[in-house]
Amino acid sequence: MTPSSWQQVPHRRYNPLRRQWVLVSPHRTQRPWQGEVAKTEPNTAIHYDPSCYLCPGNTRADGHRNPKYDGVFIFDNDYAALLPDMPEVSDRNDVPHDDLLRAEPERGTCRVVCFHPDHDLTLARMLPVDIQRVVEAWTAQTAELGQQPEINYVQIFENRGAMMGASNPHPHCQVWAIEHIPDEPQAELIAQREYHSAHGSCLLCDYLKREVQLARRIVCENDAFVALVPFWAVWPFEAMVLARRHVGSLTEMDATQQSSFADILKQLTTRYDNLFETSFPYTMGLHQSPTDKQPHPEWHFHAHFYPPLLRSATVRKFMVGFEMLGMPQRDITPESAAERLRALSAIHYTLKS
pLDDT value at position 346?
A: 86
User: At 353, is the pLDDT very low, low, confident or very high (cuts 50, 70, 90)?
Assistant: very low
Lowest-pLDDT choice from 55-69, 88-102, 211-225, 281-295: 88-102
Q: What angle do CA 39, 54, 180 make, to 5 degrees?
A: 90
Is it the case that residue 33 has pLDDT exceeding 60?
no
Is it the case that residue 191 has pLDDT exceeding 90?
yes
Beta strand pairing call for 153-160 and 282-287 = antiparallel
Question: How crowded is residue 181: how many other Cβ atoms within 10 Å of its Cβ?
Answer: 17
pLDDT value at position 41?
A: 61
Q: What's the mean pLDDT in 177-194? A: 98
Catalytic residues: 172
Q: For all residues of the chain together, what is the average pLDDT?
A: 92
pLDDT value at position 43?
A: 62
How far is Cα 327 from Cα 348, in angstroms, rounded to an integer? 35
Question: How crowded is residue 255: how many other Cβ atoms within 10 Å of its Cβ?
Answer: 11
136-141 own/partner pairs: CB under 8 Å, 24+ apart: 136/72, 136/258, 137/72, 137/74, 137/113, 138/113, 138/175, 138/250, 138/286, 139/250, 139/251, 139/253, 139/258, 141/74, 141/111, 141/113, 141/175
Give the chain's domains with CATH numbers.
183-351 (3.30.428.10)
Is it the case that residue 37 has pLDDT exceeding 70?
no
pLDDT value at position 1?
A: 46
Is it the case that residue 6 has pLDDT exceeding 80?
no
Hey, which residues does 65 pair with through a beta bridge?
59
How far is Cα 156 from Cα 176, in angstroms, rounded to an integer? 6
pLDDT value at position 125?
A: 96
pLDDT value at position 350?
A: 63
pLDDT value at position 168?
A: 93
